[in-house]
Amino acid sequence: MAESQQDRISYFQEQWELARKMEAVLRYSSERAAKAMPLLHQPLTPEQLETLEAMGARFARMSDMLVQKLFRAIDALELVDEGSMIDRLNRMEKRGIIGKAEDWIEIRQIRNQIAHDYVLKDLLSLYQSIYRHYPFLFQAMAALEKYTKARGWSK
């Protein structure tokens, strides 16, 4: 049975509500991590490491939510063939939902490093990359909200 536009809107709204909750916990983690970031050149306490680890995990989940769920849902709402992830990111850039697709390719690489290649030897670089890139996730959420409200897909 074919999925209706209303089904696609409902799916987007469900994912949007989940993403808003994820955004709140990532904001919390990023604020806590900001206190540890200047200390990365010295040994960190277990509590500081835990804070940075939480930020990293939440960053990975939030980036997945955006790229794999919300960006795909926008394409479905606009009846666009999915294509590759790069195609999806390029469409999001054209829609004004993200800045540069290249930044989001880096975000995906960071996400993959968190999810698949957890390496203790280069945590400094990993956490610095996460910290530089997490604002892009918040910017995308704000742009998505504006974009979808203008189309009547969200409240």
Q: What is the pLDDT of residues 42-88, one digit of tens each?
A: 777 788 888 888 999 999 999 999 999 999 999 999 999 888 999 99
- Residue 98 in 3-state DSSP? coil
Please say whether the dihedral angle defined by the alpha carbons of residues 96, 97, 98 and 100, taken in this order, is positive or negative. negative
Q: How confident is the model at residue 35 (pLDDT cuts 50, 70, 90)?
A: confident
Q: Which two tokens stand for residue 124?
A: 């400094």
In this structure, of 40-49, 83-92, 103-112, 144-153, the range with the lowest mean pLDDT score is: 40-49
Q: Which two tokens stand for residue 96?
A: 């004004």
Q: Which two tokens stand for residue 153?
A: 């897909």
- Residues 35 and 51: their CA atoms lie apart, in Å, by 10
Average of per-residue pLDDT across 86-112:
96
Closest Cα partner for 115 from 76, 41, 57, 54? 57
- Residue 153 in 3-state DSSP? coil
The b-or-e profile of 89-107 (16+ CB within 10 A means b, else e) is bbbbbeeebbeebeebeeb
Q: Which two tokens stand for residue 107?
A: 């975000």
- Residues 25 and 30: their CA atoms lie apart, in Å, by 9
CATH number for the region 5-150 comes to 1.20.120.580
- Specify the DSSP class assigned to residue 96: T
Q: How confident is the model at residue 102 (pLDDT cuts 50, 70, 90)?
A: very high
